[in-house]
């Protein structure tokens, strides 16, 4: 930041009111986040304490004991351990390391069952960096939809630079009503201390997640 702008920026921080605000996220923030998706309104956005809370709420709202879940592996442990803790059967969709790390979509098709209720993806993937293309994301969505499952996309690394100047794939929310996107300020913006995450989902899902969070 230019030195001559620092006093003004500091004053803005000093003037910032840090009292209680809307627990679902302010309308202004939800409106701005909604603009990063297609056909999305503030009612489709729920602001959470980091992406970890968004994922936790979604697992608890969307899943019941005995449901089948497909989750990536290796991955952030929450993505497969929380469904298991809820009594779900979890099949691990392992990232292939042949010819560079990538997701094998034929393997995903083999893992799906009539009981599958949720397919979890993480792209760009932590820890390998594997990334699904727009066409691959569409196939993931279509495969999940064919068995009546939703897709929860942990997009913690969305908005990071894409090698080679390639276009970033679309968020899962944009692909249809079975797509749910989870985002965070932590990774792409380097602001983990703010603990701000969110979900973009059908309004009935965000409402159920809010009801669970609000006890």
Whether the upstream peptide bond of residue 74 has omega within 30° of 0, thus cis, is yes
Q: In this predicted structure, what is the pLDDT of residue 54?
A: 98
Which H helix or E strand runs over 109?
A: helix 105-111
The residue extents of the domains of the chain are 24-213
Helix (H) or strand (E) holding 92: strand 89-94
CA angle 32, 203, 65 (to 5 degrees): 125
Please name the fold of domain 24-213: 3.40.640
- According to DSSP, the residues that pair with 89 across neighbouring strands are 68
What's the predicted TM-score (pTM) here? 0.89
Listed as ranges, residues in the chain with pLDDT below 70 are 1-5, 99, 161-167, 215
Interhelix angle for 203-213 vs 50-62, to 10°?
Answer: 100
How far are the Cα atoms of 60, 116, 122, 196 from residue 185, in angstroms, in the given order?
23, 30, 16, 6
| pLDDT value at residue 211 | 95
- Give the model's pLDDT for residue 1: 56
Parallel, antiparallel or unpaired: strands 196-200 and 45-49: antiparallel
Phi, psi (deg, nearest 5) at residue 71: -135, 150
């Amino acid at each position: 930041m230019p030195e001559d702008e620092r006093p003004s920026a500091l004053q803005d921080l000093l003037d910032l009111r840090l009292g209680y605000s809307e627990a679902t996220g302010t309308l202004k923030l939800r409106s701005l986040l909604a603009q990063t998706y297609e056909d999305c309104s503030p009612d489709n956005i729920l602001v959470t304490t980091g992406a970890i809370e968004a994922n936790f709420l979604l697992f608890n709202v969307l899943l019941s004991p005995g449901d089948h879940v497909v989750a990536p592996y290796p991955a952030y442990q929450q993505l497969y351990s929380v469904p298991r803790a809820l009594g779900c059967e979890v099949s691990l969709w392992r990232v292939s390391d042949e010819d560079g790390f990538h997701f094998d979509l034929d393997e995903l098709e083999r893992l799906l069952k009539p009981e599958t209720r949720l397919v979890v993806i993480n792209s760009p993937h932590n820890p390998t960096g594997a990334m699904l293309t727009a066409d691959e994301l569409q196939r993931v969505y279509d495969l999940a939809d064919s068995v009546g499952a939703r897709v929860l996309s942990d997009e913690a690394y969305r908005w990071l630079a894409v090698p080679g100047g390639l276009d970033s794939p679309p968020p899962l929310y944009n692909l249809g009503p079975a797509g749910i996107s989870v985002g965070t300020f932590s990774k792409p913006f380097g602001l983990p201390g703010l603990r701000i995450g969110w979900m973009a989902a059908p309004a009935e899902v965000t409402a159920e997640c809010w009801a669970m969070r609000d006890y």
